[in-house]
Amino acid sequence: MDQAVGEALSFSPQVLPGGKTVLLTIYGQDPLWQVVALRPGGERHLVAAGAVNGQYVPSGHLIYMGESEAVLAAPFDVAEARITGPAIPLTEPVDLMYAFAASSDRVAYIPVAGQGQGDEVVWLERSGVATVAIDMTANWTQPRLSPDGTRLLLRKVGAPCELWMLDIESGSLVEVAHGRDNEEAIWSPDGQRIAYFESDSPQRMLTRRVSGQLGVETLMSGPGSGEPQSWSREGNLLVYSTRDARTNSDIWVLPMDRDAEPVRFLATEADELAPCIAPNGRWIAYSSNESGTSEVYVRRYPDTGDVWQVSASGGVAPLWSRDGRRLFYIAGTRLMEVPVEVDPTLGLGTAVQVFEGGFSLSRQRNYDLAPDGRFVVLRRVEGDAGLPELRMLVNWQEEMRRIRGGSE
Protein backbone atom coordinates (compact mmCIF):
# COMPACT_ATOMS: atom_id res chain seq x y z
CA MET A 1 0.00 0.00 0.00
CA ASP A 2 1.40 3.41 -1.01
CA GLN A 3 0.20 6.15 1.35
CA ALA A 4 2.17 8.74 -0.62
CA VAL A 5 -0.44 8.56 -3.39
CA GLY A 6 -3.40 8.50 -1.02
CA GLU A 7 -3.92 4.78 -0.51
CA ALA A 8 -5.55 4.31 2.89
CA LEU A 9 -6.69 0.69 3.18
CA SER A 10 -5.90 -2.74 1.80
CA PHE A 11 -7.83 -5.94 2.45
CA SER A 12 -9.22 -9.22 1.04
CA PRO A 13 -5.90 -10.81 -0.02
CA GLN A 14 -6.07 -14.06 -2.02
CA VAL A 15 -3.07 -16.11 -3.20
CA LEU A 16 -3.72 -17.29 -6.74
CA PRO A 17 -2.86 -20.83 -7.93
CA GLY A 18 0.89 -21.14 -8.35
CA GLY A 19 1.55 -19.26 -5.14
CA LYS A 20 3.33 -16.26 -6.69
CA THR A 21 0.52 -13.74 -7.22
CA VAL A 22 -1.78 -12.13 -4.65
CA LEU A 23 -5.06 -10.36 -5.38
CA LEU A 24 -5.72 -7.40 -3.10
CA THR A 25 -8.32 -4.65 -2.75
CA ILE A 26 -6.87 -1.13 -2.37
CA TYR A 27 -8.80 1.94 -1.19
CA GLY A 28 -7.81 5.58 -1.69
CA GLN A 29 -6.52 5.86 -5.27
CA ASP A 30 -8.32 7.14 -8.35
CA PRO A 31 -10.61 5.31 -8.88
CA LEU A 32 -11.39 5.05 -5.19
CA TRP A 33 -11.53 1.23 -5.10
CA GLN A 34 -9.25 -1.11 -7.06
CA VAL A 35 -8.47 -4.80 -7.21
CA VAL A 36 -4.77 -5.22 -7.97
CA ALA A 37 -2.37 -8.12 -8.52
CA LEU A 38 0.92 -8.23 -6.59
CA ARG A 39 3.87 -10.30 -7.83
CA PRO A 40 7.31 -11.11 -6.35
CA GLY A 41 9.64 -8.15 -6.25
CA GLY A 42 6.85 -5.66 -5.75
CA GLU A 43 5.50 -5.71 -9.31
CA ARG A 44 1.86 -4.66 -9.33
CA HIS A 45 -0.84 -4.10 -11.93
CA LEU A 46 -4.49 -3.10 -11.96
CA VAL A 47 -6.96 -5.95 -12.35
CA ALA A 48 -10.29 -4.11 -11.99
CA ALA A 49 -11.04 -0.43 -11.38
CA GLY A 50 -13.93 0.56 -9.14
CA ALA A 51 -13.90 -2.97 -7.72
CA VAL A 52 -13.91 -4.47 -4.22
CA ASN A 53 -13.21 -7.92 -2.74
CA GLY A 54 -11.96 -9.73 -5.85
CA GLN A 55 -12.24 -13.50 -5.55
CA TYR A 56 -10.81 -15.95 -8.10
CA VAL A 57 -12.80 -19.17 -8.49
CA PRO A 58 -11.58 -22.38 -10.21
CA SER A 59 -14.07 -22.04 -13.08
CA GLY A 60 -11.71 -19.35 -14.41
CA HIS A 61 -13.61 -16.27 -13.28
CA LEU A 62 -13.04 -13.27 -11.06
CA ILE A 63 -15.97 -12.47 -8.79
CA TYR A 64 -16.06 -8.97 -7.29
CA MET A 65 -18.31 -6.10 -6.24
CA GLY A 66 -18.48 -3.27 -8.75
CA GLU A 67 -19.31 0.40 -8.36
CA SER A 68 -23.01 -0.42 -8.73
CA GLU A 69 -22.60 -2.46 -5.49
CA ALA A 70 -23.74 -5.59 -7.36
CA VAL A 71 -21.64 -8.76 -7.49
CA LEU A 72 -20.04 -9.17 -10.94
CA ALA A 73 -18.35 -12.11 -12.68
CA ALA A 74 -15.73 -11.80 -15.42
CA PRO A 75 -13.56 -14.37 -17.26
CA PHE A 76 -10.06 -14.33 -15.77
CA ASP A 77 -6.63 -15.51 -16.97
CA VAL A 78 -5.07 -16.74 -13.74
CA ALA A 79 -1.53 -17.00 -15.21
CA GLU A 80 -1.55 -13.36 -16.31
CA ALA A 81 -3.88 -12.24 -13.49
CA ARG A 82 -6.00 -10.28 -15.95
CA ILE A 83 -9.69 -10.05 -16.84
CA THR A 84 -10.21 -11.28 -20.40
CA GLY A 85 -13.85 -10.40 -21.11
CA PRO A 86 -16.82 -8.28 -20.04
CA ALA A 87 -18.14 -8.50 -16.48
CA ILE A 88 -21.74 -9.61 -15.96
CA PRO A 89 -23.81 -8.54 -12.90
CA LEU A 90 -25.07 -11.54 -10.95
CA THR A 91 -26.92 -9.93 -8.03
CA GLU A 92 -28.68 -6.84 -6.79
CA PRO A 93 -26.60 -4.46 -4.57
CA VAL A 94 -25.03 -6.19 -1.56
CA ASP A 95 -24.89 -4.90 2.01
CA LEU A 96 -22.86 -5.24 5.20
CA MET A 97 -19.32 -4.46 4.08
CA TYR A 98 -19.37 -6.22 0.69
CA ALA A 99 -20.81 -9.40 2.19
CA PHE A 100 -20.56 -12.14 -0.42
CA ALA A 101 -18.65 -15.38 -1.01
CA ALA A 102 -18.29 -17.26 -4.28
CA SER A 103 -17.43 -20.68 -5.70
CA SER A 104 -17.48 -22.00 -9.25
CA ASP A 105 -21.23 -22.59 -9.14
CA ARG A 106 -22.68 -20.56 -6.25
CA VAL A 107 -22.65 -17.03 -4.85
CA ALA A 108 -23.86 -16.37 -1.30
CA TYR A 109 -24.56 -12.75 -0.45
CA ILE A 110 -26.43 -10.36 1.84
CA PRO A 111 -28.46 -7.86 -0.22
CA VAL A 112 -29.23 -4.27 0.69
CA ALA A 113 -32.63 -4.43 2.39
CA GLY A 114 -35.41 -3.82 -0.11
CA GLN A 115 -33.21 -4.39 -3.16
CA GLY A 116 -33.70 -6.95 -5.93
CA GLN A 117 -37.38 -6.33 -6.64
CA GLY A 118 -36.72 -2.65 -6.06
CA ASP A 119 -37.97 0.01 -3.70
CA GLU A 120 -41.05 2.19 -3.97
CA VAL A 121 -40.65 5.94 -3.59
CA VAL A 122 -43.45 7.06 -1.27
CA TRP A 123 -44.73 10.10 0.60
CA LEU A 124 -45.10 9.33 4.30
CA GLU A 125 -47.33 11.29 6.67
CA ARG A 126 -46.50 11.48 10.36
CA SER A 127 -49.71 9.51 10.90
CA GLY A 128 -48.11 6.60 9.05
CA VAL A 129 -50.19 6.98 5.86
CA ALA A 130 -48.03 6.29 2.80
CA THR A 131 -48.76 7.35 -0.79
CA VAL A 132 -46.77 6.14 -3.80
CA ALA A 133 -44.84 8.99 -5.47
CA ILE A 134 -43.56 7.10 -8.53
CA ASP A 135 -45.41 4.25 -10.17
CA MET A 136 -42.20 2.30 -10.73
CA THR A 137 -40.01 0.23 -8.42
CA ALA A 138 -36.25 0.30 -8.97
CA ASN A 139 -33.01 0.29 -7.02
CA TRP A 140 -33.60 3.90 -5.92
CA THR A 141 -31.43 5.57 -3.29
CA GLN A 142 -30.67 9.07 -1.95
CA PRO A 143 -33.99 10.91 -2.52
CA ARG A 144 -33.45 14.68 -2.43
CA LEU A 145 -36.26 17.24 -2.70
CA SER A 146 -35.73 20.61 -4.33
CA PRO A 147 -35.95 23.63 -1.99
CA ASP A 148 -39.49 24.44 -3.19
CA GLY A 149 -40.56 20.79 -2.96
CA THR A 150 -41.64 20.53 -6.61
CA ARG A 151 -38.91 18.18 -7.89
CA LEU A 152 -37.22 15.07 -6.54
CA LEU A 153 -33.72 13.82 -7.33
CA LEU A 154 -33.04 10.09 -7.12
CA ARG A 155 -30.00 7.91 -7.62
CA LYS A 156 -30.75 4.70 -9.52
CA VAL A 157 -28.24 1.99 -8.64
CA GLY A 158 -27.00 0.10 -11.67
CA ALA A 159 -24.02 -0.24 -13.95
CA PRO A 160 -23.48 2.67 -14.12
CA CYS A 161 -25.46 4.53 -11.44
CA GLU A 162 -27.71 7.25 -12.84
CA LEU A 163 -29.40 10.38 -11.52
CA TRP A 164 -33.10 10.93 -12.25
CA MET A 165 -35.44 13.84 -11.55
CA LEU A 166 -39.17 13.63 -10.89
CA ASP A 167 -41.50 16.56 -11.54
CA ILE A 168 -43.90 15.99 -8.66
CA GLU A 169 -46.90 17.80 -10.15
CA SER A 170 -46.76 16.29 -13.64
CA GLY A 171 -45.29 12.93 -12.63
CA SER A 172 -42.69 13.09 -15.41
CA LEU A 173 -39.40 11.32 -14.67
CA VAL A 174 -36.27 12.29 -16.63
CA GLU A 175 -32.64 11.23 -16.49
CA VAL A 176 -30.26 14.07 -15.64
CA ALA A 177 -26.86 12.33 -15.39
CA HIS A 178 -25.77 9.04 -16.95
CA GLY A 179 -22.82 7.28 -18.56
CA ARG A 180 -20.70 7.35 -15.38
CA ASP A 181 -21.28 6.34 -11.76
CA ASN A 182 -23.12 9.32 -10.28
CA GLU A 183 -24.02 9.72 -6.61
CA GLU A 184 -24.51 12.04 -3.64
CA ALA A 185 -26.58 14.62 -5.55
CA ILE A 186 -27.82 17.70 -3.66
CA TRP A 187 -29.72 20.83 -4.70
CA SER A 188 -28.46 24.39 -4.77
CA PRO A 189 -30.60 26.64 -2.54
CA ASP A 190 -32.18 28.35 -5.57
CA GLY A 191 -33.14 24.99 -7.11
CA GLN A 192 -31.40 25.81 -10.39
CA ARG A 193 -28.42 23.48 -10.02
CA ILE A 194 -27.38 20.20 -8.47
CA ALA A 195 -23.97 19.17 -7.16
CA TYR A 196 -22.93 15.52 -7.34
CA PHE A 197 -19.97 13.14 -7.35
CA GLU A 198 -18.68 10.95 -10.19
CA SER A 199 -16.96 8.06 -8.47
CA ASP A 200 -15.32 6.37 -11.45
CA SER A 201 -12.00 7.57 -12.83
CA PRO A 202 -11.30 10.42 -12.98
CA GLN A 203 -13.28 11.24 -9.85
CA ARG A 204 -15.03 14.58 -10.08
CA MET A 205 -17.32 16.79 -8.02
CA LEU A 206 -19.59 18.65 -10.42
CA THR A 207 -22.44 21.10 -10.57
CA ARG A 208 -25.06 20.84 -13.29
CA ARG A 209 -27.89 23.20 -14.19
CA VAL A 210 -31.25 21.42 -14.33
CA SER A 211 -33.38 24.34 -15.51
CA GLY A 212 -32.87 27.28 -17.82
CA GLN A 213 -29.60 27.23 -19.78
CA LEU A 214 -28.04 23.83 -19.09
CA GLY A 215 -24.36 23.43 -18.29
CA VAL A 216 -21.84 21.42 -16.24
CA GLU A 217 -19.01 22.83 -14.12
CA THR A 218 -16.22 20.83 -12.47
CA LEU A 219 -15.60 21.87 -8.87
CA MET A 220 -12.90 19.26 -8.15
CA SER A 221 -11.18 16.53 -10.13
CA GLY A 222 -8.85 13.63 -9.32
CA PRO A 223 -8.03 11.81 -6.07
CA GLY A 224 -9.55 13.50 -3.04
CA SER A 225 -12.47 14.97 -4.94
CA GLY A 226 -15.28 15.53 -2.49
CA GLU A 227 -18.75 14.00 -2.23
CA PRO A 228 -21.22 16.88 -1.80
CA GLN A 229 -23.45 16.52 1.25
CA SER A 230 -25.07 19.85 2.08
CA TRP A 231 -25.40 23.31 0.50
CA SER A 232 -25.95 26.33 2.77
CA ARG A 233 -29.20 28.25 2.39
CA GLU A 234 -27.28 31.40 1.40
CA GLY A 235 -25.54 29.44 -1.33
CA ASN A 236 -22.04 30.45 -0.22
CA LEU A 237 -20.89 27.16 1.34
CA LEU A 238 -20.87 23.60 0.03
CA VAL A 239 -20.12 20.99 2.69
CA TYR A 240 -18.58 17.77 1.43
CA SER A 241 -16.96 14.52 2.57
CA THR A 242 -13.62 13.13 1.48
CA ARG A 243 -11.13 10.53 2.68
CA ASP A 244 -7.53 10.76 3.82
CA ALA A 245 -5.01 7.96 4.34
CA ARG A 246 -4.35 9.08 7.92
CA THR A 247 -7.62 10.61 9.07
CA ASN A 248 -10.17 8.42 7.23
CA SER A 249 -13.48 10.12 6.30
CA ASP A 250 -13.34 13.87 6.89
CA ILE A 251 -15.54 16.94 6.48
CA TRP A 252 -14.51 19.92 4.36
CA VAL A 253 -16.24 23.13 3.31
CA LEU A 254 -15.92 24.68 -0.14
CA PRO A 255 -16.68 28.43 -0.31
CA MET A 256 -18.57 28.95 -3.54
CA ASP A 257 -16.74 32.15 -4.39
CA ARG A 258 -14.74 31.70 -7.55
CA ASP A 259 -11.13 30.53 -6.93
CA ALA A 260 -11.77 30.06 -3.18
CA GLU A 261 -9.84 27.24 -1.51
CA PRO A 262 -11.55 24.41 0.42
CA VAL A 263 -11.41 24.64 4.22
CA ARG A 264 -11.01 21.60 6.47
CA PHE A 265 -13.81 21.51 9.05
CA LEU A 266 -13.20 18.24 10.90
CA ALA A 267 -10.54 15.57 10.38
CA THR A 268 -9.73 13.08 13.13
CA GLU A 269 -8.73 9.41 13.08
CA ALA A 270 -12.44 8.56 13.35
CA ASP A 271 -14.86 8.58 10.41
CA GLU A 272 -16.84 11.83 10.19
CA LEU A 273 -19.72 11.32 7.76
CA ALA A 274 -22.93 12.81 6.33
CA PRO A 275 -22.43 16.47 7.31
CA CYS A 276 -25.54 18.66 7.13
CA ILE A 277 -25.36 22.43 7.63
CA ALA A 278 -28.18 24.14 9.55
CA PRO A 279 -30.46 26.63 7.76
CA ASN A 280 -28.84 29.54 9.63
CA GLY A 281 -25.37 28.40 8.49
CA ARG A 282 -24.00 28.34 12.05
CA TRP A 283 -24.11 24.61 12.90
CA ILE A 284 -23.07 21.38 11.18
CA ALA A 285 -24.58 18.05 12.19
CA TYR A 286 -22.69 14.87 11.28
CA SER A 287 -22.12 11.28 12.39
CA SER A 288 -18.88 9.94 13.84
CA ASN A 289 -17.64 6.62 15.21
CA GLU A 290 -15.17 8.28 17.59
CA SER A 291 -16.79 6.49 20.56
CA GLY A 292 -16.66 3.11 18.82
CA THR A 293 -20.32 3.41 17.76
CA SER A 294 -21.69 5.75 15.12
CA GLU A 295 -23.49 8.65 16.82
CA VAL A 296 -24.81 12.01 15.65
CA TYR A 297 -23.06 15.19 16.81
CA VAL A 298 -23.33 18.94 16.20
CA ARG A 299 -20.51 21.52 16.04
CA ARG A 300 -20.47 25.24 15.41
CA TYR A 301 -19.45 26.58 12.06
CA PRO A 302 -16.73 27.79 12.00
CA ASP A 303 -15.59 25.14 14.47
CA THR A 304 -14.76 26.34 17.99
CA GLY A 305 -13.98 22.88 19.36
CA ASP A 306 -17.31 22.61 21.21
CA VAL A 307 -19.34 19.52 20.37
CA TRP A 308 -22.84 18.35 21.33
CA GLN A 309 -23.87 14.68 21.13
CA VAL A 310 -27.39 14.28 19.73
CA SER A 311 -28.01 10.51 19.68
CA ALA A 312 -27.57 8.27 22.69
CA SER A 313 -27.58 4.69 21.38
CA GLY A 314 -26.46 4.93 17.78
CA GLY A 315 -27.26 7.38 15.01
CA VAL A 316 -26.40 8.22 11.40
CA ALA A 317 -27.63 10.37 8.48
CA PRO A 318 -28.70 13.62 10.22
CA LEU A 319 -31.02 16.14 8.56
CA TRP A 320 -32.14 19.58 9.77
CA SER A 321 -35.77 20.61 9.44
CA ARG A 322 -36.28 23.52 7.08
CA ASP A 323 -36.78 25.95 9.96
CA GLY A 324 -33.76 24.61 11.86
CA ARG A 325 -35.83 23.80 14.96
CA ARG A 326 -35.65 20.01 14.65
CA LEU A 327 -32.93 17.51 13.82
CA PHE A 328 -33.69 14.08 12.34
CA TYR A 329 -31.45 11.02 12.21
CA ILE A 330 -31.53 7.25 11.69
CA ALA A 331 -31.12 4.84 14.61
CA GLY A 332 -31.24 1.27 13.31
CA THR A 333 -34.60 0.93 11.56
CA ARG A 334 -36.08 4.03 13.23
CA LEU A 335 -36.28 7.66 12.14
CA MET A 336 -35.75 9.86 15.20
CA GLU A 337 -36.51 13.54 15.81
CA VAL A 338 -34.92 15.91 18.33
CA PRO A 339 -36.23 19.44 19.13
CA VAL A 340 -33.43 22.01 18.81
CA GLU A 341 -32.81 25.55 20.10
CA VAL A 342 -30.10 27.37 18.18
CA ASP A 343 -29.92 30.79 19.88
CA PRO A 344 -27.91 31.97 21.73
CA THR A 345 -26.35 28.50 21.94
CA LEU A 346 -27.40 24.98 21.06
CA GLY A 347 -30.06 23.30 23.16
CA LEU A 348 -31.25 19.76 22.51
CA GLY A 349 -34.57 18.25 23.57
CA THR A 350 -35.51 14.59 24.01
CA ALA A 351 -35.39 12.35 20.97
CA VAL A 352 -38.70 10.81 19.86
CA GLN A 353 -39.43 8.20 17.23
CA VAL A 354 -41.12 9.35 14.02
CA PHE A 355 -41.55 5.92 12.42
CA GLU A 356 -39.93 2.48 12.39
CA GLY A 357 -39.48 -0.40 9.98
CA GLY A 358 -40.65 -1.12 6.48
CA PHE A 359 -38.39 1.49 4.89
CA SER A 360 -34.89 1.43 3.42
CA LEU A 361 -32.98 3.54 5.91
CA SER A 362 -29.61 1.82 6.19
CA ARG A 363 -26.23 2.75 4.67
CA GLN A 364 -27.11 6.29 3.62
CA ARG A 365 -29.72 9.05 4.03
CA ASN A 366 -32.58 7.45 2.17
CA TYR A 367 -35.14 10.03 3.26
CA ASP A 368 -35.90 13.74 2.92
CA LEU A 369 -38.34 16.28 4.34
CA ALA A 370 -40.85 18.23 2.21
CA PRO A 371 -41.91 21.84 2.88
CA ASP A 372 -45.37 20.59 3.96
CA GLY A 373 -43.89 18.33 6.65
CA ARG A 374 -44.26 15.03 4.80
CA PHE A 375 -41.30 12.70 4.34
CA VAL A 376 -40.20 11.13 1.10
CA VAL A 377 -38.81 7.67 1.82
CA LEU A 378 -38.06 4.38 0.09
CA ARG A 379 -40.51 1.64 1.01
CA ARG A 380 -39.41 -1.95 0.85
CA VAL A 381 -41.44 -4.18 -1.40
CA GLU A 382 -44.07 -6.40 0.21
CA GLY A 383 -42.53 -9.40 1.94
CA ASP A 384 -39.24 -7.67 2.77
CA ALA A 385 -39.17 -6.98 6.51
CA GLY A 386 -35.90 -5.06 6.22
CA LEU A 387 -33.92 -7.59 8.27
CA PRO A 388 -30.53 -8.91 7.10
CA GLU A 389 -31.13 -11.75 4.65
CA LEU A 390 -28.74 -14.36 3.24
CA ARG A 391 -29.40 -15.28 -0.39
CA MET A 392 -27.83 -18.00 -2.53
CA LEU A 393 -27.45 -17.83 -6.31
CA VAL A 394 -27.02 -21.35 -7.71
CA ASN A 395 -25.51 -22.14 -11.13
CA TRP A 396 -24.46 -18.55 -11.72
CA GLN A 397 -22.59 -19.54 -14.89
CA GLU A 398 -25.96 -20.41 -16.41
CA GLU A 399 -27.08 -16.89 -15.54
CA MET A 400 -24.02 -15.51 -17.34
CA ARG A 401 -24.83 -17.56 -20.43
CA ARG A 402 -28.45 -16.42 -20.33
CA ILE A 403 -27.45 -12.75 -20.11
CA ARG A 404 -24.98 -13.15 -22.98
CA GLY A 405 -27.62 -14.74 -25.15
CA GLY A 406 -26.47 -18.34 -24.88
CA SER A 407 -22.71 -17.90 -25.38
CA GLU A 408 -19.97 -17.26 -22.88
Return the amino acid letter for 213.
Q
Helices within 229-326 (DSSP H only): none
pLDDT at 274: 94
When computed from its CA atoms, the radius of gyration of the chain, rounded to whole angstroms, is 22
pLDDT at 406: 47
Q: Which residues contact 248 (CB under 8 A, 6 or more apart)?
A: 8, 269, 270, 271
Residues of the chain with pLDDT under 50: 114-116, 384-385, 406-408
Residue type at 152 in one-letter notation:
L
What is the 8-class DSSP label of residue 200? S
SS3 content of the chain, % helix, strand, coil (to 5): 5, 50, 45
Structural contact between residues 301 and 277, judged by C-beta atoms closer than 8 angstroms:
yes
Architecture of the domain defined by 119-380: 6 Propeller (2.120)
How deeply is 221 buried, as exposed, middle or buried, from its count of CB atoms within 10 A (0-12, 13-18, 19+)? Answer: middle
The confidence score (pLDDT) of residue 116 equals: 45
Q: Which CATH class is domain 3-111+389-403?
A: mainly beta
252 CA to centre of own chain: 17
What pLDDT, on a 0 to 100 scale, did the predictor assign at position 118?
61
Within 8 A by CB and 6+ apart from 155, the residues are 140, 141, 142, 161, 162, 163, 164, 182, 183, 184, 185
pLDDT digits (tens, 9 = 90+) for 285-319: 999 999 989 999 999 999 999 999 999 989 999 99
Listed by start position, the domains of the chain span 3-111+389-403, 119-380
- The b-or-e profile of 304-338 (16+ CB within 10 A means b, else e) is eeeebebbeebbbbbbbbbebebbbbbbebbbbbb
